[in-house]
Amino acid sequence: MRKPLSNSRTTDTDTAGRVRKFLNGGGPRPAFALLAYCVFLGAASPAALLRIEITERNDVLGGQPFGKTGAYERIRGRAFFAVDPALPHNSRITDIRFAPRNPEGGVEFSADVIVIRPKDAKAGNGTLLVEPPNRGGMGMLGMYNRATAQAQFGDGFLMREGYTLAFVGWQHDVPERPGVLRAHVPKAAGVEGLVRGEMTPTAPIQRFSLGDSEHIPYTVSKPESLVLTFRDGIHGKRSPVPPSEWRLEGTEIALTKPAVPGRTYEFVYRSQDPAVAGLGLAGLRDFVSEMKYGRDPVLSGRIRHAIGTGTSQSAMALRALVYEGFNADEKGRVVFDGLQPHVAGGRRSTFERFTQPSRTSGPYRNASFSTTDQFPYSDAEDKELVTGRKDSILARARAAGVVPKIIYTNSSYEYWGSAAALVHTSLDGKRDLELPDTTRVYLLAGGQHGPAAFPPQRGAGRNLPNWNDYKWALRAILGDLRDWVVNGAAPPASRYPGLSNGTLARGEPAAHRTQYLDFGAEYSAKGIVTRQPPKTGVDYAVLVPKPDADGNDLAGVKMPWVAAPLGAFTGWNLRTAASGAEGELLGQTGSYLPFSRERVRTQYRGREEYVAQIDATARQLVKERFLLEEDVSPIVRMGGRIWDWSTADSPVR
Q: Hey, which bits of 4-134 come out as E strands? A: 39-40, 46-47, 49-59, 72-83, 107-118, 127-131
Whether residue 358 contacts residue 209, with contact meaning beta carbons closer than 8 Å, is answered with: no
**pLDDT tens-digit readout, 245-269:** 999 999 999 999 999 999 999 999 9
**The three-state (H, E, C) secondary structure of 481-531, written as one string:** HHHHHHHCCCCCCCECCCCCCCCEEECCCCCCCCEEEECCCCHHHHCCCCC
Whether residue 446 contacts residue 552, with contact meaning beta carbons closer than 8 Å, is answered with: yes
Whether residue 63 contacts residue 30, with contact meaning beta carbons closer than 8 Å, is answered with: no
Q: Hey, which bits of 312-388 come out as E strands? A: 338-342, 382-383
Q: How many angstroms separate the CA atoms of 518 and 532, rounded?
A: 9
- CA-based torsion, 353, 354, 356, 361: positive or negative: negative
* Cα 303 to the center of its chain, rounded Å: 24
Burial (CB count <10 Å: 0-12, 13-18, 19+), residue 524: middle
Give the pLDDT of residue 577.
95
| Amino acid (1-letter code) at residue 628 | L
* b (16+ CB within 10 A) / e for 308-324: bbbbbbbbbbbbbbbbb
**pLDDT tens-digit readout, 142-165:** 999 999 875 689 999 999 999 999
Q: How many angstroms separate the CA atoms of 367 and 230, rounded?
A: 13
Residue 366: partners with Cβ closer than 8 Å, 6 or more residues away: 197, 198, 212, 359, 360, 372
Q: What is the pTM of this model?
A: 0.93
Whether residue 192 contacts residue 270, with contact meaning beta carbons closer than 8 Å, is answered with: yes
Instruction: Look at residue 33 and give its three-state secondary structure.
Output: coil
Residue 411 Cα distances to 208, 305, 620, angstroms? 31, 27, 20
Whether residue 345 contacts residue 410, with contact meaning beta carbons closer than 8 Å, is answered with: yes
**pLDDT tens-digit readout, 503-535:** 999 998 889 999 999 999 999 999 999 999 999
DSSP secondary structure, 178-214, as one string: TT---EE--B-TT-EEEEEEEE--SS--SEEESSSTT
Residue 387 Cα distances to 323, 390, 509, 537, angstroms? 19, 9, 25, 10
Q: How many angstroms separate the CA atoms of 375 and 563, rounded?
A: 34
* Angle (CA) 199 203 204, round 5°: 90
Give the pLDDT of residue 298.
55
Burial (CB count <10 Å: 0-12, 13-18, 19+), residue 360: buried
Q: How many angstroms separate the CA atoms of 360 and 365, rounded?
A: 7
Beta bridge partners of 334: 328
Backbone angles phi, psi at 390, to 5 degrees: -100, 140
What residue ranges of the chain have pLDDT lower than 70? 1-47, 150-151, 295-301, 650-651, 653
- Minimal CA–CA distance to 225: which of 209, 206, 248, 242? 248
Give the pLDDT of residue 593.
97
